[in-house]
């Protein structure tokens, strides 16, 4: 396999349209393809750079739900009923 060159390969738009698959193959091998319209560059196809694993900010990391301890003796409803019956 040949090492990619540092200069882009310039091709007219008509040639790019006719050989799109071959141009993408070149880009996969590390080449940059510059597309020309009327002799002027209008676009470049460049190889994708390997992406680093995206880190999730700490504030977005899900946390475990909080487990509140409930008093074992009475429910909230029972405490309200007792307060109403006992008066203010």
What digits encode the pLDDT tens for the residues 31-60? Answer: 999 999 999 999 999 999 887 787 888 888
pTM: 0.54
Encode pLDDT of 10-22 as tens digits: 999 999 999 999 9
User: Residues 26, 35: contact at Cβ < 8 Å?
Assistant: no
Q: Which domains does the chain have, with CATH numbers?
A: 9-45 (3.40.1620.10)
Beta bridge partners of 36: 12, 41
Beta bridge partners of 9: 33
* pLDDT of 1 above 50: no
Indicate the burial class of 33 (C-beta count within 10 angstroms; 0-12, 13-18, 19 or more): buried
* pLDDT of 65 above 70: yes
Contact residues for 23 (Cβ-Cβ < 8 A; gap 6+): 11, 16, 33, 45
């Amino acid at each position: 396999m040949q090492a990619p060159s540092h200069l882009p390969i310039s091709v007219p738009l008509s040639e790019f349209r006719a050989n799109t698959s071959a141009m993408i193959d070149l880009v996969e091998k590390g080449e940059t393809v510059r597309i020309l319209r009327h002799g002027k560059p209008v676009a470049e196809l460049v190889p994708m750079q390997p992406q680093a694993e995206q880190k999730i900010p700490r504030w977005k990391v899900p946390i475990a739900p909080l487990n509140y301890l409930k008093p074992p003796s009475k429910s909230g409803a029972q405490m309200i009923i007792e307060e109403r019956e006992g008066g203010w």
